[in-house]
Structure 1
Amino acid sequence: MSVGDTISWDDLRLFLDVARLGGLSAATSTTGLSAATLGRRVTALEQQIGEPLFIRRQTGYQLTPAGEELLARAEDVEAAMRALTRWRDGSVGEQIVRISAGTWTSAFLAQHIGELWHVDDNIRIEFATAYQKLDIGRRAADIGVRSERPLDPNLAGRQIGRVAHALYSGLNLINGIAAGLFVGVTGEAANVASARWLMAHHGDRISVRGNDVQSVRELVAAGAGLGVFPCFAGDSDARLVRVAMPITELETEQWLVTHHEDRHRPEVRLVADRIAALMREHGPLFRGERRRPPS
């Protein structure tokens, strides 16, 4: 890298997301950029550094030694930028709280935003929805809703409930549903436990697939086949009908996770407490105990 070259913070932020999430496609959800654009930006950064930062594999991006070193330095810059942002936001009375959760949980929280956030809180909320967990230990998010107890010593967690999953069909017994077929998942979403369970138990009867859970729900509702959803999502959709008891092996715990040092920040604690209260209030729905009767 020549003396006159300056690495931009924007490029470092993109690098951090790709490094933490392990690939371009995963980072599209957090950066808002296409995988092609991210690829070009990463390649340009490598040319600027003068060394490859990633080993490209079909399964994802793995950091090279130079990438590991840049990651550590970029995290130092990130911490400094966060401190600067908090100082700036504090001067105008607003703090940012970034919430990381899976697709269904993020949608549920968004539907109940009025119970989590008020205009007069002087807080700004950001939702970071991703199939892969954002690294709270490295402060990629302030609050995470997770399916297991955090083991990282930098993280603090409290269990706030349990989540059940079950098989659902659309209201009309047509097309793939009438034939006893299933709707599967492809792409990143195929790595979630429910998608793996469906593949293991009914893989030979999957006739249609979608590459995100929202598409899968639309396909099931339209009659393409049966699908697996968390009960809080399936039972809340008037177009879906639960066709069997919850799947025991897919039941998970629900944990609220924060950074050990950040959990006492007033804005983080306020939002975390509200999320915990919301989840406990709707605990029966998440546990699959509020089954909506068929229309």
Structure 2
Amino acid sequence: MDFSWDDLRLFLDVARLGGLSAATQTTGLSAATLGRRVTALERQVGEPLFVRSQTGYRLTPSGEDLLLRAEEVEAAMMALKRWKDGTIGERMVRISAGAWTSAFLARHVAQIWTAGDRFGVELVTGSQKVDIGRRHADIGIRNERPSEQWLAGRLIGKVAYGLYARPELTSGVAAGYFVGLAGDGAQTRSARWLHARHGDRIATRGNDVMSVLELVAAGAGISVFPCFVGDSDPRLSRMAGPVPELETELWLVCHHEERHTPAVRAVTERIASLMREHGALMRGEGAAP
């Protein structure tokens, strides 16, 4: 069975955007044309790829399988194009991490990637684990040992958390108020800890960690941050020592089949070295070197 890359590319747009209407914007095709192309691809596969409804297109199990394989083809086609264009090399190394760790890596990108490398790097930021098994990322930085048998894990440090506020007794700080996290981020361990102990004193919230940081820096109240975040921000002051029950481990995770490829191995070694260099900061024992 021969697949057309153009058909797979259209399938990827519909699958990722959840329907024909949204995919018209990225493909430049009409919904009717996209519908015909998707139906033709389903006939070629011999099984339905989507469950169609009023709210959009949802992948069937066969569609999920094709999505995984189409993403592999997409990665190969992009690598081929980069090779032809003589640009950044044969692949993009995707690093999955939470918002704070992604921001930390971005600030220290010179230690994990240089313009001379024959690969690029992409930060995949989110509060939920990204599926490395399905190649949605090449490397993950997690707070626990991986349980999946196809993943290799390496303990590279520990992360401490503490309560921080603007040093001046102003606004919400003076009143003893706290700043909480709303939305998906409210399910993180530190956010739940803050709500359990100080929920009745939360006066302001942000629906992402960066807005919480800005609220605290502006004096809206007190909140909990990783020590490598709070101790590195001159606008904040730690109110006491690290909170023992919030300490987490720092694991570097990648797929067994990928960990020895040159690009992935290079980036994992550089990240491990970076975290060792800043180990005291991560553990809440001092400022950045």
Supply the AA of the counterpart residue of 2:68. Answer: E
Supply the AA of the counterpart residue of 2:208. Answer: D
Supply the AA of the counterpart residue of 1:232. Answer: F
Aligned residues: 261
Counterparts of residues 282-293 of structure 1 (less than 5 Å)? 282-290=278-286
Structure 1 residue aligned with 2:70: 77
Partners of 1:202 and 1:55 lie apart in 2 by 43
How many percent of aligned residue pairs carry the same amino acid?
Answer: 50
* Cα gap change, 1:77 to 1:220, in 2 (>3 Å): same
Q: Render the CA deviation track for 1:219-243: whole Å, top value 9, x for unaligned.
A: 0111111000000000000000000
Whose Rg is larger?
Answer: 2
Partners of 2:240 and 2:177 lie apart in 1 by 15
Cα root mean square deviation, aligned: 2.9
Note the C-alpha offset of 1:81.
2.3
Is the 1:169–1:220 Cα contact (8 Å) retained in structure 2?
Answer: yes
Note the C-alpha offset of 1:14.
6.7
Q: Render the CA deviation track for 1:110-153: whole Å, top value 9, x for unaligned.
A: 11111111111122111111111211111001111111111111
Q: Render the CA deviation track for 1:135-188: whole Å, top value 9, x for unaligned.
A: 111100111111111111121111100001110011211111111110001111
Is the 2:8–2:70 Cα contact (8 Å) retained in structure 1?
Answer: no
Q: Render the CA deviation track for 1:2-44: whole Å, top value 9, x for unaligned.
A: xxxx8552552573598xxxxxxxxxxxxxxxxx969x99xx7
Structure 1 residue aligned with 2:239: 243
Partners of 1:242 and 1:164 lie apart in 2 by 12
Structure 1 residue aligned with 2:136: 140
Counterparts of residues 93-108 of structure 1 (less than 5 Å)? 93-108=89-104
Q: Render the CA deviation track for 1:59-117: whole Å, top value 9, x for unaligned.
A: xxxx97x5332111111111222233334445534421111111110111111111111
Q: Secondary structure at the match of 1:238?
A: coil
Is the 1:53–1:67 Cα contact (8 Å) retained in structure 2?
Answer: no
Q: Secondary structure at the match of 1:254?
A: strand
Structure 2 residue aligned with 1:114: 110
Note the C-alpha offset of 1:256.
0.7
What TM-score comes out, normalization by structure 2 length? Answer: 0.81
Is the 1:137–1:154 Cα contact (8 Å) retained in structure 2?
Answer: yes
Supply the AA of the counterpart residue of 2:9. Answer: W
Partners of 1:201 and 1:136 lie apart in 2 by 34
Structure 2 residue aligned with 1:15: 15
Structure 2 residue aligned with 1:224: 220
Q: Secondary structure at the match of 2:94?
A: strand
5+ long unaligned stretches in structure 2: 1-5, 40-47
Is the 2:80–2:90 Cα contact (8 Å) retained in structure 1?
Answer: no
What TM-score comes out, normalization by structure 1 length? Answer: 0.79
Supply the AA of the counterpart residue of 2:72. Answer: A
Structure 1 residue aligned with 2:178: 182
Partners of 1:182 and 1:46 lie apart in 2 by 51
Structure 2 residue aligned with 1:52: 51
Is the 2:154–2:253 Cα contact (8 Å) retained in structure 1?
Answer: yes
Supply the AA of the counterpart residue of 1:104. Answer: W
* Cα gap change, 1:193 to 1:11, in 2 (>3 Å): farther
Is the 1:54–1:67 Cα contact (8 Å) retained in structure 2?
Answer: no
Counterparts of residues 243-282 of structure 1 (less than 5 Å)? 243-282=239-278
Partners of 1:84 and 1:11 lie apart in 2 by 15
Larger CA deviation: 241-250 vs 275-284 = 241-250
5+ long unaligned stretches in structure 1: 1-5, 19-35, 57-62
